[in-house]
Structure 1
Amino acid sequence: MYYLKFIYLTATTLIFSMTSVNSETFNDALTKAYLLNPTLAASRAQLRSKEEKISEAWGGWYPTIEFSLDAGKNWKHVSGNAVSSANRNKNLTPKNSDFVFSQNIYQGGKTSAALKVARAEILAQRARLLATEQDVLFGAGRAYVDVVRDEAVLKLNRNNEAVLLRQLEATRDRFEVGEVTRTDVAQAKARHSGSIAESVESNGQLSNSRASYRNIIGDFPGVLKKVKPLLDIPTSQSAVKDLARELSPGVLVARYEEKTAAAKVEETFSGLLPSVDIEGRLSRSDALSAVDSRTDNAKIFAKLTIPLYQSGIVRSRLRAAKQIHAQKKMELNASLRRSDEKSAQAWENLLTANAQISALTAEITAATTALEGVKQEAKVGSRTVLDVLDAEQELLDARVNLVRAERNKVVASMELHRAIGNLTAKGLNLDVNFFD
């Protein structure tokens, strides 16, 4: 007896340890997605690439310095009576070297505009990264609660399958003693067969959700825990709308793209203005004539360039840049409208989920009471087998709908945080080193 008790305790401890090791909280899953999701990693690399635009734009303020060197062999033959034999044939080894320095002084504001363009493009890319981060974390969170939901639904359906099996067996026993008819047995069997089909469907849906979980987070889920909705929800729909217009990544992208387009108008217009450069040159030439010689030359000069006629190309580009700027303004307005729509939908989805949970909780309480009453009435013959089966189905449906509503509430809270730009590792206080 002691040996059996020891084995039972050991097995229980082992199972508990395995569950603890494989358990994964909601924040664990989001952290894993933040660190390992390839789509997010690609977006970060794209931002690092875009940040090089600043260095490229700053290059317009810096000088250019070049050094060139060329050397070769030159054979020279001079004919004529006046040429001495010593100078008639000459082998020359010419060497030329140049050191050139150029510094732009004024370029019509092109460099300043290029810096504005680079900064706005980087900020727009950061907003795109923020949008990608939110999409990845939202996908990870939704995959987590989908698995939790489908596991709960599968458990309910399997429990219902077992209940209906016992109901079928009890109905057959009552049929044997003549208490019920063959129709009652057929109804019980039909409900049991239907419960098997629902269990199979639930299991397939769970497999699909597990596959989605692995795709987003990186591996299959372990033991997941029930999730509570995210907190720090704004107190009103108008507050959600205001925050979304200010902080949602979609609006930020559109706003910085509009600034980029405005700066590109300035950059293009600079092509119509004069430019001033200072250039310096040091050069040396060896053996440039029949007489061995070396020539050193040094000069520095200012260069003024005034564009007079450019075939209309620059003005065409300027008109196109202005139209693109107008386009980006309209896209910003459209983005604000989409932000209003998404924030309103997220708010209503959360309210709907709260109302559904309250109603379904009350429905479950009532359906449980009704089922007990129908069972008692069936024992005395005032209710049929079908009445009992219907009451059990109503209770199952209410429980399944509650599980789904609780999942929808968590998703709605994530949608609301995403609408206001807060569904990020920093906004959720994940235990990670934030990418910056």
Structure 2
Amino acid sequence: MKIAGIVFGVAAFGAGTGAQAANLMQVYQQARVNDAQFAAAQQEYKAVREARPLARAGLLPQVNLSASVAQNSSRFENFSIAGQPVPNSRYDYGSNGYTLSLSQTLFNYGDWLSLKQADQTVAAAQARLDAASQSLILNTAKAYFQVLAAEDQLRYSEAQQRAIGRQLEQAKKRYDVGLVAVTDVQQAKASYDLARAAVIQAQSQVDNAREALAVLTGQENEQLDPLARALPLLTPKPDNLKDWVKAALQQNLSVVAARYTADAARQEVGVQRAGHYPTVNLVASRAYNDANAGLEAGQTTNDSIALQLKVPLFSGLRVSSLTDQAQYKYLQSQELLKGQQREAVRQTRSAYLNVMSSISQVKALRQAVASNEASVASMEAGFKVGTRTSLDVLTALSDLYKAQSEYAQARYNYLINTLLLKQAAGTLSMADIEHINGYLAAPSAAAAQAGAD
């Protein structure tokens, strides 16, 4: 049937141009390199990753060197030695020296806890980076299919405008010979004007969708590989919602990040409480001084090694206040973790049900397209023999193009919902992009499919 070719003829949209088409995997690689939000997430992770070496630094030796060169002036007035007065005098002399010190922490409970806390903080940052990577996969797929859906809608609108235009010409000819009333011409003209407006709106949607994709990729893709006609409708594996919810509670990256953040907050309580505990340090130093001060001229070297014990006795209740503050923040992080777990369950349930619903919707709309094609053919045949009016044909055409548009959108929704389910479960990866990329058809193949129809 001629009309059937319109359904998948959209797959060949732009196939006649000489531009090289980009597939979903290529667009994703572009977005991974150029997306500003993902790049910002990577830099954030690198910054947080330094928390561990910063925490470890407090447990490593601290070595300091200080040196000085000075010009000194000493005055002696009313000065005596062994009861004998010394004439007033003044000495101007130079001196130089250095001090080399080494300090090694032997016991500082707060520093040890800070190192463990840093591990939790870095782990939370890694989970957030992985979540950003999953979001990039999902956002790229959404933007890609939004472009295809907009191009579908444009093609359907243009096809509808052409079909209504032919109907308008037929109505005018039949009116000229007195077979129909002027109302048929007016109805066809009104429908044609609406179809023109729909084409303009559809073109605007295509432009906007392409701009949204360019925000992710940082470049323009003139042509995208369309979705092939054959699309397997696979139910989620496992096909048990409880299994997906269980996986989400363990693997959802937002939950994982919140869990590590709560662990870090718990460690912070211990860090602040450690302000009450003693610290032990080993300190060694060498001080050298070379001075030319008359009788006191010469070089001196002082070496020392000491074991320093510091016991905090009272700090104005500062440590107690900081510990309480950390405790409240830990309780806050626990509540945020609970909220994130509940949100993960909601997202998983919603995505799972949407996948199942999408499968049924695609099947139903596929049948609706076939039924509307038959309806249009019947209406056109009836119009030719005078049993149907122009309005009947126009209504049937409108229903057909609406069914086609909804069918195409349902196919895209099915793919997006499968990605949303895997994101909620924490298993979304580049392999899923590769899998969906296999459902795309090269423009030449899509054009061949459309021609076969």
TM-score for the superposition, normalised by structure 1: 0.89
Alignment partner of 1:39 is 2:43? no
Q: Within 1, Cα distance between the matches of 2:373 and 2:232?
A: 27
Q: Aligned match of 1:254 in 233, 258, 270?
A: 258
SS in 1 for 2:388: coil
Q: Deviations over 1:378-407 (max 9, x none)?
A: 222221111111111111111111111112
Deviates more, 1:34-43 or 1:320-329: 34-43
**Structure 1 residue 329, shift from structure 2 partner:** 1.0
Q: Counterpart of 1:139 in structure 2: which amino acid?
A: N
Greater shift, 280-289 or 391-400, is seen at 280-289
1:6 aligned partner: none
1:301 aligns with 2:302: no
Tell me, in whole angstroms, the C-alpha distance in 2 between the residues paired with 1:273 and 1:428.
Answer: 53
For residues 15 and 434 of structure 2, the distance between their equivalents in structure 1, rounded to whole angstroms, comes to 29
CA 1:183/1:429 → structure 2, altered by over 3 Å: closer, same or farther? closer
CA distance in structure 2 between the partners assigned to 1:426 and 1:62 by the alignment: 43
Equivalent position of 1:209 in the other structure = 209
CA contact (8 A) 1:23 1:222 kept: yes
Match of residue 269 from structure 1: 273
For 2:379 and 2:434, locate their aligned partners in 1 and report how far apart those are by CA, in whole Å: 50
Displacement after TM superposition at 1:213 (Å): 0.8
Q: Equivalent residue of 1:92, what SS?
A: strand
Q: Confirm or deny: 8 A CA contact 2:262 2:337 kept in the other structure.
A: yes
How far apart, in 1, do the equivalents of 2:90 and 2:243 lie?
Answer: 93
In the TM superposition, 1:354-373 aligns within 5 A as 354-373=359-378
Pair 1:429–1:353, CA change in 2 (3 A): closer
Name the CA distance, whole Å, in 1 between partners of 2:58 and 2:252.
34
1:56 to 54, 58, 61: 54
> Is contact 1:229-1:410 (8 Å) kept?
no
Check if 1:238 corresponds to 2:242. Answer: yes
Aligned amino acid, residue 379 of structure 1: K
Q: Structure 1 residue 310: deviation in Å?
A: 1.1
What is the Cα deviation at residue 285 of structure 1? 2.3
Query: What are the equivalent positions in structure 2 for 1:222-237 lying under 5 Å apart?
Result: 222-227=222-227, 233-234=236-237, 235-237=239-241
Q: Cα offset for 1:209?
A: 0.3
Which residue matches 1:113? 113
Match of 2:409 among 381, 404, 407: 404
Residue aligning to 1:196: 196
Q: Judging changes above 3 Å, is the alpha-carbon distance between structure 1 residues 414 and 79 closer, same or farther for their aligned structure 2 residues?
A: closer
Alpha-carbon distance in structure 2 between the residues aligned to 1:129 and 1:22:
32
* RMSD of Structure 2 on Structure 1 (CA): 2.3
Deviates more, 1:340-349 or 1:376-385: 376-385
Aligned residues: 413
SS at 1:145 equivalent? helix
CA distance in structure 1 between the partners assigned to 2:75 and 2:137 by the alignment: 81
The alpha-carbon deviation at position 17 of structure 1 amounts to 10
CA distance in 1, matches of 2:373, 2:75: 117
Tell me which residue corresponds to 1:320. Answer: 325
- The reply to whether residue 94 of structure 1 matches residue 99 of structure 2 is no
1:338-417 alignment, distance < 5 Å: 338-417=343-422
Matched residue of 2:97: which SS? strand
Share of identical aligned residues, percent? Answer: 23
Aligned partners of 2:91 and 2:293 also within 8 Å: no
Aligned to 1:167: 167
Taking structure 2 as the reference length, the TM-score comes to 0.86
CA 1:76–1:97: 2 relative to 1, 3 Å: same
| 1:343 to partner: Cα distance | 0.7
Going from structure 1 to structure 2, the CA distance change for 1:329 and 1:78 (only over 3 Å counts) comes to: closer
With over 3 angstroms needed to count, the CA separation of the structure-2 counterparts of 1:367 and 1:61, relative to structure 1, is same
Tell me, yes or no, if the aligned pair for 2:51 and 2:118 is still in contact at 8 Å. yes
For the pair 1:66 / 2:74, whether they are aligned, the reply is no
Q: Which residue of 2 aligns with 1:5?
A: none
- What is the deviation of 1:263? 0.9
Note the alpha carbon deviations across 1:284-320, whole angstroms, 9 max, x for none: 2232754113222111111111111111000111011
Secondary structure in 1 matching 2:282: strand
Distance 1:407 1:209 in 2: 14
Structure 2: how far apart are the matches of 1:219 and 1:231? 33
Unaligned runs of 5+ in 2: 1-13, 436-453
Secondary structure of residue in 1 paired with 2:58: helix
Task: Work out the CA distance in 2 between the residues paired with 1:123 and 1:56.
Answer: 15
Cα distance change, pair 210–104 in 1 and its aligned pair in 2 (3 A)? same
SS across alignment from 2:284: strand
> For the Cα contact (< 8 Å) 1:33–1:218, is it kept in 2?
yes
Instruction: Measure the CA separation in 2 of the matches of 1:207 and 1:251.
Output: 37
Contact persistence 2:137–2:433 (CA under 8 A): no
Assess if the C-alpha contact under 8 Å between 1:146 and 1:209 holds in 2.
yes
Q: Which amino acid aligns with 1:63?
A: P
Q: Which residue of structure 2 lines up, in the alignment, with residue 12 of structure 1?
A: none
Q: Please state if 1:28 is matched with 2:23.
A: no
Separation in structure 2 between the aligned mates of residue 152 and residue 318 of structure 1, nearest angstrom: 60
| 1:102–1:280 Cα contact (<8 Å) kept | yes
- Tell me: CA distance 1:84–1:263, structure 2 relative to 1, closer, same or farther (3 Å): closer
Tell me how far apart the structure 1 counterparts of residues 330 and 222 of structure 2 sit (CA, whole Å): 50
Tell me by how many angstroms 1:144 deviates: 0.5
1:135 aligns with 2:139: no
One-letter identity of the residue aligned with 1:374:
M
Of the two structures, which has the highest relative contact order with CA contacts closer than 8 Å and spacing of 6 or more? Answer: 2
In 2 relative to 1, CA 16–352 (structure 1 residues): closer, same or farther, beyond 3 Å?
A: closer
Looking at structure 2, the residues matched to 331 and 123 of structure 1 have their Cα atoms a distance apart, in angstroms, of 17
In structure 1, what is the Cα distance between the partners aligned to 2:422 and 2:158? 35
Distance 1:232 1:65 in 2: 64
Task: State the Cα distance separating 1:76 from its structure 2 match.
Answer: 3.4
- Alpha-carbon displacement from aligned partner over 1:10-52 (angstroms, at most 9, x marks no partner): xxxxx98964x52111111112111221221121111111111
Q: Which amino acid aligns with 2:347?
A: K
Q: Is the 8 A contact 2:276 2:319 kept in 1?
A: yes
User: How far apart in 2 are the matches of 1:208 and 1:182?
Assistant: 40
Shift of 1:79: 5.4
**Closer/same/farther in 2, CA of residues 230 and 293 from structure 1, 3 Å limit:** farther
Q: Which segment is superposed worse, 150-159 or 286-295?
A: 286-295
